[in-house]
Amino acid sequence: MGVASDERGLANSLSTPNLSNMSIGTHGAGAEVHRQLIIVRKGSDNQCIFANSDKLRLGEPVKLNLIGDDSRGVNKLHSDERLTGVTGPWRYIVSCVGPKEDSVFVIWEDFNFLRLLNTDLVADVKDWDARAGNAVNFVGGIPSEGTKTKKYGGGRDWIVNEDGTIALRHSPQFVLGIGDDLGYLTLP
């Protein structure tokens, strides 16, 4: 598989987070329920509507907190960048929806990419496959290996809508949403 094919997204292994370094248990101190960040059809009950989307549309960095749910936002499932070599060399952090105090800061860079602030990682739809339920994670290339973080034309291109949703630019019927319950996690 060549680099061009590799840049369509991450390997199947990233669709379901590797939970081997995390403990899953019953709800207790230090444990919060996390749900997978996915794309859903616009208008779905599971679509995310974000606070401060007006500032994000202006290119300002914002914390990705949800409107209508004072307790949740987009989080990193793990704090460290990890590497995958399955579809080419990529750096990644698995995203999830969890407690708002752990929400990430992003900027809508070049009015196209949702970049994690202070990183070279952007929101990426797995395999650039625009279908409801597909995972969204933060991904970055390794330029020395021929992979690019900012790759136009597919699963890294986003539109910040006036209604607070964030849609895939080339498939605007799909927006960021909340997926399956990942359980109660205690992060390492």
In angstroms, rounded to a whole number, what is the distance separating the alpha carbons of residues 148 and 119? 14
Q: Which tokens in the block code for residue 44? A: 């779905």
Q: Which amino acid is at 142?
A: I
> pLDDT (tens digit, 9 = 90+) per residue, 60-93?
999 999 997 668 999 999 999 998 876 668 899 9
pLDDT along the chain (188 residues), means of 10: 34 39 38 85 96 96 88 93 79 94 96 96 95 95 85 95 97 95 50
Q: If 0-12 CB within 10 Å is exposed, 13-18 middle and 19+ buried, where does residue 21 land?
A: exposed
Residue 25: inside a domain: no
Quote the number of domains for the chain: 1
Q: 58: domain range? A: 33-181
Looking at the domain assignment, is residue 78 inside a domain? yes
Q: For residue 89, is it within any domain?
A: yes
- Is 186 inside a domain boundary? no
Q: Is residue 9 part of a domain?
A: no
